[in-house]
């Protein structure tokens, strides 16, 4: 949704889509590729340019690109915390998801392509 807003195109997904594991993997791969292309196409001065969009409640906003990108990065932390809580409530031990664990090479937190 946020990538579509940045690109000024209609979003291809609902705010709360119902996806199976394969669908999640597909959307994650699409987002990875889409953000890579989007970021590669930015010029240094673009980062503070405002993007106009309408949110899912129908409210219109203008937000700088750098604020949107920071929101996307930080909001993922919020959801990883929710998942960790649900796993703990279910009696499971969540995988490490902290960035520092990722850069230190903790296996469960490390990308396979790294």
| pLDDT tens-place string over residues 26-69 | 999 999 999 999 999 999 899 999 999 999 899 999 999 999 99
What does the pLDDT read at residue 114?
A: 44
Contact between residue 43 and residue 33 where contact means Cβ atoms under 8 Å apart? no
> Quick one: what percent of the chain has pLDDT higher than 90?
65
Question: For residues 68 and 51, is the Cβ–Cβ distance under 8 A?
Answer: yes
Its pTM surpasses 0.85:
no
Give the gyration radius of the chain's Cα atoms: 16
């Amino acid at each position: 949704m946020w990538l579509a807003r940045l690109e000024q195109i209609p979003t291809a997904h609902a705010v709360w889509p119902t996806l199976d594991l394969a669908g999640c993997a597909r959307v994650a791969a699409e987002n990875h590729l889409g953000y890579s292309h989007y970021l590669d196409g930015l010029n240094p001065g673009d980062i503070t340019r405002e993007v106009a969009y309408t949110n899912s409640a129908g409210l219109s906003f203008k937000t700088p690109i750098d604020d949107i990108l920071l929101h996307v990065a930080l909001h993922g932390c919020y959801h990883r915390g929710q998942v960790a809580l649900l796993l703990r409530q279910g009696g499971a031990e969540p995988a490490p998801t902290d960035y520092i664990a990722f850069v230190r090479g903790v296996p469960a937190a490390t990308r396979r392509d790294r």
